[in-house]
Every structure is written in C-alpha cells, then in structure tokens.
Amino acid sequence: MQRTLIIDALSAEKAQQEIMICGWARTRRDAKGFSFLEINDGSCLANLQCIVDEGTEAHAALGEANTGAALTVTGALVPSPGKGQKWEVRAKSIRVFGLADPQTFPLQKKRHSDEFLRTIAHLRSRTNKYGAAFRIRSEAGWAVHDFFRQEGFAWVHTPVLTGSDCEGAGEMFRVTTLAPGEKSLEEDFFSRRCNLTVSGQLEAEALALGLGRVYTFGPTFRAENSNTPRHAAEFWMIEPEMAFADLTDLMELAESLTRHVIGHVLEHCQADVRLFDAFVDKGLLARLQGLLAKPFARIPYAEAIRILEDSDRAFAFPVTFGMDLQTEHERYLAEEHFQRPVIVYDYPKEIKAFYMRCNDDNETVAAMDMLVPRIGELIGGSQREERLDRLCERIREMGQNPEDYWWYLDLRRFGSAPHAGFGLGFERLLMLLTGITNIRDVIPFPRTPGNLEF
Ligand code: 4AD
Ligand code: MG
C-alpha cells in the first residue's frame, strides 16, 4: 500500500477510506475504550492524531508502544471532532517497528535545552524545533538553486581537496596519507601539500570565465580556532561568480538572492517559521517581513567608520579608519543604525584579500560585505583584479611567488574580463531565517573545535 505523508493527509480535501502513515509516536494517551496516538513523520511540524479502539487487532498490535516508537498506522482519514486538527485517523491496523524504552529514551515530552540536545544530535531531528530547522534548511537550499537557475547561472562543483589557499588566511585543514613521523612531502599522496578547501572561488573564477555565470554550493572548511556562535569548522558556502560584471552588479545580486530566499521560506515554511516566532525569537516573522519591505542600505567603508565614530557607543574594539570591522560594529550598523541589512563597500586594501580589484584611489578595493541584523557578516565578496600586472604586484606584496598562481594568472593572460563574485555563509542565512543564535543548531552535525562526535 502507498504511504501518505502527514503533510498531505492534513491538507486532504475529503475523507479517505484507507491511508497508511509511517512515523514516530510523539505521545500516547490511554482513555476509556481507546488510545490516542500523536504521530509525526518529519514531513511537517504537525502531528496526525490516531484513534485506536480497545479490543481491536490494531490495539493489540500497538501493545506497549509509547513515545518514540516507530510505527505504521493504516486506517480511515476522517474529520476530527477534536480542536486544533481537521483530520484524524481511525486505526484499522498497526505495525510497530521499533520501541523506545521510556526509561532510557532521552526525548520525553518535556522541553530540553539546546546544549543537551547537541549531545544527542543523532536524535534531535525528532523534536519540533530541530525538525523545523532542518526543513527550513532544505527549503532554503532549494530556493538558492531556484534563484540561480532563473538567473541563468550554471551550478559548478569545485574541488574539496585543494592545493591553494584562496583567502590567504592560513586557516586550513591539512589532508595527508602520511603517518605521523613520515616527513617527506614527496611521499605524500599528491606529492605536495593538500588542504580542505576554504573557498571554491579561484576555481569558480576559472569556470565563470568560460561559462559566464556560475555558482558553487557546497561544504567549506576552516580551522579557525574561534569558539563563537557564528563560526563552524565545516559550513556550507554559496559562491556565485559573474563574468562581465562589476561591484554594483554584485551588490544587486547579493541583495536579490537574499530577498529571494527569505521570500521563499516565508511562503513555503509558514508553520515552521511561526514555531520559531513563538518559541525561539519573538518578532522573527515581523522582522523577516520587514527585511523584504525596504531596500537594503549601501555605504562605503569610510562612511561606515564615520557612523561608528559618531555613535555614542563604547565598543570593545575602538573604531579607527583602516581597521577590520568586528561583529559588534557590524551589528551596530545593521541592527541599530540602519535597522536593515547594509552593504558596506570599498574597503582599505590592507585588510582585504589579494584578489580584490584595486580602486583608482589606490587605497581601497572594490570589496563588499553584507551585514545583517543579529548576525553581522552574511556575505563577503568583491570585483576581482582582472589586470595581470596589478594582480602580480599584489601577490608579490603578500610575499608570495606569482608562479605559484600560474593558472589563476593565465585567466588574466588570455581573454581577461571584469568579473565579480561573493561567498554567502549558508548557516548564517539560516540563523537569520530561524532566529537561532548558535550556528551549532542550524547544522545537523556541527563541527567546531573539539567536537567531532557523530
Ligand atoms: O568572507 P569570506 O571569507 O569570503 C570568501 O571566502 C570569498 N572567497 C568568497 C567569494 O568571494 N567567493 O566568507 C564568505 C562568507 C562569510 O561572509 C560568512 O557568511 C561565511 O562565509 N563564513 C562562515 N560561516 C560559518 N563559519 C565560518 N567559520 C565562516 N567563515 C566564513
Ligand atoms: Mg569575509
């Protein structure tokens, strides 16, 4: 028999003779003459209520099954006389697959702390909150693909194993087949250093300069030893790269992508977003709707510094021209000053990566960061330096050898074109969409310093 998802059963137009649902019992209540089961199958936030009459085969099959048990219920979908749901199932037959011992099953009805649930990440997708978070994660991912497809971008897959350090920040995980003590790089698998990618950008640039518009959407690794609520050692990044585009085109793209995903999630994940609005972050829904109502702000870095200097806030990191913005500054700008996302552009070249295009003032680069309320930096990107001589100069200034970048420089030697791209941290976007304040809670199995369970 065909299985029906609870999301479809609950939105049925009319009663049905017989359906089969498969899921986990959230609760069981025994009343006089029958038992109530609340079943959740992960397809939506809502449970489907099942009535199991005493003295039936179904009731016998239910046995001792209780909270946490995996089971299949077959029966009629009928209008529910109870409040809160339109439909319920009158069980005709039940098959219990796996029981969950109430003495040891950790997810009993009470509410658990996020910290505790992180220690049982393998079970937490069976709670309302994490089920909702991971459904939103999925839907937001589809929205990203939808957006780029509509805009004519090709989805490209850049390598996870790489010999280059895109960001030049040296926060890379090394990959080796050498045993500890074996020292010669020659004997290593690739006969050279290999790292997990910190960004697919350099390869995405190569592909953009052939396919025109591309994006990557995949895992990224950074060995930053920063135990913050916004950094993970493994996270997903979305990196579009456009040929024949400048910084203004890039800001347009960043804003429209962000709006598209927010709009899509508001439309397609209503119940899940409402859960977060009610229990995790009161005001979330209004805030998300507010984000769509107004255009994002755009200001040059120099103006951002002026705003910060003129504020009467005592920042932990004092504000000076030339400094990198800290989270407290980013949040002040987005949350308090503008009260909406703000794109800051034209940063001093000293604090940005070598590949960013130098502006005519020779002091700043055509970089942009999108800062959003409650999170800070959501997106970082730039127009790329497409002039061979300027790029070589920057590589030498970093104390590196241009020859090591031969293929990246070839892109400037042969048919170079202005191009631009950015990286959007997918988990940070999910934090914005759910109001969840710790990145560990928007990733099913988060990796952070010292944490590699599961
Ligand atoms: O600003 P970042 O370092 O930019 C780059 O990697 C560029 N190569 C991207 C490009 O132009 N193609 O990182 C981009 C975004 C950040 O704005 C942030 O949202 C996210 O990636 N991010 C992290 N998210 C979670 N955990 C971390 N450790 C992150 N580091 C960066
Ligand atoms: Mg950045």
**Tens of each residue's pLDDT in the chain, 454 residues:** 899 999 999 999 999 999 999 999 999 999 999 999 999 999 999 999 999 999 999 999 999 999 999 999 999 999 999 888 899 999 999 999 999 999 999 998 788 999 999 999 999 999 999 999 999 999 999 999 999 999 999 999 999 999 887 777 779 999 999 988 877 888 999 999 999 999 999 999 999 999 999 999 999 999 988 889 999 999 999 999 999 999 999 999 999 999 999 999 999 999 999 999 999 999 999 999 999 999 999 999 999 999 999 998 999 999 999 999 999 999 999 999 999 999 999 999 999 999 999 999 999 999 999 999 999 999 999 999 999 999 999 999 988 899 999 999 999 999 999 999 999 999 999 999 999 999 999 999 999 999 999 9
Distance (Å) from CA 43 to ligand 1 centroid: 31
* CA–CA gap between residue 127 and residue 116 (Å, rounded): 13
Alpha carbon distances (Å) from 5 to 12, 44, 231, 273, 280: 11, 9, 35, 20, 27
Q: What is the pLDDT of residue 345?
A: 98
Q: What is the pLDDT of residue 169?
A: 72
Position in ligand 1 atom list of the atom nearest CA 233: 28
State the pTM of this model.
Answer: 0.97
Instruction: Find the helix or strand (DSSP H, E) in which 364 lies.
Output: strand 364-372
Q: How many helices (H) and strands (E) does the chain have?
A: 13, 15
Q: What is the pLDDT of residue 449?
A: 94
Mutate to test the pocket of ligand 1, among 356, 428, 442 (most ligand atoms within 8 A of CB): 428
User: Is residue 419 a contact partner of residue 212, using CB atoms and an 8 Å limit?
Assistant: no
Instruction: Please tell me the residue having the least CA distance from ligand 1 atom 7.
Output: 423
* CA–CA gap between residue 280 and residue 133 (Å, rounded): 11
Pocket of ligand 1, beta carbon within 6 A: 166-167, 199, 201, 222, 224, 231-232, 235, 237, 239, 377-381, 421-423, 425, 427-428, 439
Q: Is 356 helix (H, G, I), strand (E, B) or coil?
A: strand
- Which residue is it, tokens 């992508």? 257
- CA angle, 15 as apex, 11 and 18 as ends, to 5°? 105
* CA–CA gap between residue 120 and residue 445 (Å, rounded): 10
Q: What is the pLDDT of residue 105?
A: 96
Q: What is the pLDDT of residue 170?
A: 73
Distance (Å) from CA 374 to ligand 1 centroid: 17
* CA–CA gap between residue 330 and residue 334 (Å, rounded): 6
